[in-house]
Structure 1
Amino acid sequence: MVLALVSSVTDCKSYSKRDYFDTSFKCFAEPGWRDDSNFKKYIEKAWLPMRLLFAEDNAKIKRSDVVFAGDSLVHLFVPELMAKEFPGQSVTNRGIGGDMTETLLSRIEEDALILHPEKVVIEIGGNDFIQGKCLSLVQNNLLSIIQKIHSKNRNTKIFLIAVPPTRVKELNQIVPVFNLFLNQVARTTNNVEYIEVWDMMRKVDSPTLSDEFIRPNGDSLHFNEKGYELWGKKLRPYLQK
């Protein structure tokens, strides 16, 4: 439901206007989306309802050892897949389709940290770049997310998953730059690890999503179950410690 709504209010044809390598490109430094009316619709119809569901669930479960937070790529890591990849572990999903760094920053305390997790897994940023957000803004938001988590508990371990390749050229141009930043943050920040997935999810000789991970419905942004198997393989050594 949430992903369907996000797709319906996002103009996929606008990717060509989000080309960071175009000499006429101007990054977007405002809150929300370039299309403010659709952003308000998304918040009202998708983002807030999901957060209400999270609040109800958090009140029931109280705690979770591991919390995943982020956008639709996290959202689609459904409980059945998580149970398969992390058997016997207390793992909770707090992903929302359409989420950006700014919206995740605004909700991470109430949606994720309230569960007092020992480990937080984050994948975020792709939707920022769909909107042509200024790279420095996205980077600063990510640093603020880390700061907010560690202000609650400096011992919380944070795992930053690389934003994976898609089948959208404009995203595949800028995302590796952001991933380099994530890697550098992990190298210089205590209790932060970078989980590389871009390299194993892209085509061997092309910066685009490998055919083996393509979803059967023509989806150009998300990947199939094999992608989550890869995520599980990469994350298990860290989450089982």
Structure 2
Amino acid sequence: MNRKNRIKFFLRWGVSIALVLSVTNCKTTSKRDYFDSNFKCFAESGWRDDANFKKYIEKAWLPTRLLYAEDNRKIKQSEIVFAGDSLVHLFLPDLMAKEFPGKSVTNRGIGGDMTETLLTRMEDDVLSLNPKIVVIEIGGNDFIQGKCLSLVQTHLLSIIKTIHSRNPQTRIFLLAVPPTRVRELNQIVPVYNLFLNQVARTTTNVEYIELWDMMRNPDSPTLSEEFIRPNGDSLHFNEKGYELWGKKLRPYLQK
């Protein structure tokens, strides 16, 4: 299996493992419904189900990081690096090449990643490539776990600080977390996106890319039918969604 096919395999495989472990881990709605009177946010590391979190780290997160470390040693540098969770992870190399022709673009997403786990790998997986631009989409898995909003925000700010401590001139694009077909996520994510927008407005070399409004159903806060994947997946979107990402991002990446 050549390098390109190995990366594709790990991307899809890692997302599948993460999705099974993370979603089955949080069956009780009140654990992730921020508007439920019984809701108590989760302020600890990992997932509420520690056993499944350890399985995820062992079977998906670490193997994908090993692949990235090997790939980083080969490519050494990339002008643009995407980092984040499964929504980035599934932006496959062929799609990226199609949407950003002529650009040196590298995908460093991991299915199941949260702000805290992305923070721990930012230096090795992303910054070691000395990117001029880092595109980040992260946060949805935090809210699947019912993480405390203030904790997620703190981790996001630490990610930005880590990037700019290496190089203050690195441009950071914060992608809005898009709508899904999960009611609890669609309640809290717009609040988080407002925070991302505010961070971008007040931080040098950080910009916010709005995607929520363009990907939602015109009449309700849920993913538009045109972006729904055909396999019953309620969290991710289809190739048409990535075409929209490309359309939104290209003007920024060409500056």
- For the criterion TM > 0.5, the same-fold answer is yes
Aligned to 2:9: none
**2:44 aligned residue:** 30
Residue aligning to 1:152: 166
Stretches of structure 2 lacking an aligned partner (at least 5 in a row):
1-12
Alignment of 1:108 with 2:122, yes or no, is yes
Give the whole-Å Cα distance in 2 for the aligned partners of 1:9 and 1:81: 26
Measured after TM superposition, the shift of residue 171 of structure 1 is: 0.1
| 1:6 has 2:18 as partner | yes
Aligned to 1:140: 154
2:58 is the counterpart of 1:44: yes
Structure 2: distance between partners of 1:76 and 1:129: 19
Q: Which runs of 5+ in 1 are unaligned?
A: none
Question: Cα RMSD over matched residues?
Answer: 0.8
Percent of residue pairs identical: 79
Decide whether the 8 Å contact of 2:176 with 2:211 is kept in 1.
yes
Query: What residue is the counterpart of 2:218 in the other structure?
Result: 204
Inter-CA distance 162–186: structure 2 relative to 1 (3 Å threshold): same
Q: Distance in 2 between matches of 1:183 and 1:75?
A: 23
Q: Distance in 2 between the 1:14 and 1:55 partners? A: 36
In the alignment, residue 181 of structure 2 is paired with which amino acid?
R
Q: Determine if the alignment matches structure 1 residue 79 to structure 2 residue 79.
A: no
What TM-score, normalized by structure 2, do the two folds share? 0.93
The structural deviation recorded for 1:8 is 2.3
| Deviation at residue 129 of structure 1 after TM alignment | 0.1
* Corresponding residue SS for 1:150: helix
Amino acid at match of 1:110: D
Which of 47, 70, 83 is residue 69 of structure 1 equivalent to? 83
The count of residues paired between Structure 1 and Structure 2 equals 241
After TM superposition, give the deviation of residue 16 of structure 1 in Å: 4.5
For the residue of structure 1 that corresponds to 2:222, the secondary structure is strand
TM alignment of 1:87-102, pairs within 5 A: 87-102=101-116
| Counterparts of 1:79 and 1:109, CA distance in 2 | 22
Deviation at 1:24, TM superposition (A): 1.2
Corresponding position of 2:233? 219
How far did residue 240 of structure 1 move?
1.1
How big is the shift at 1:122?
0.1
Runs of 4+ in 1 over 6 A off after TM superposition: none
Q: Which residue of 1 aligns with 2:209?
A: 195
Aligned match of 1:129: 143
**Which residue in 2 is equivalent to 1:182?**
196
Provide the rounded CA distance (Å) in 2 between the counterparts of 1:29 and 1:183.
23
Q: CA deviation at 1:105?
A: 0.2
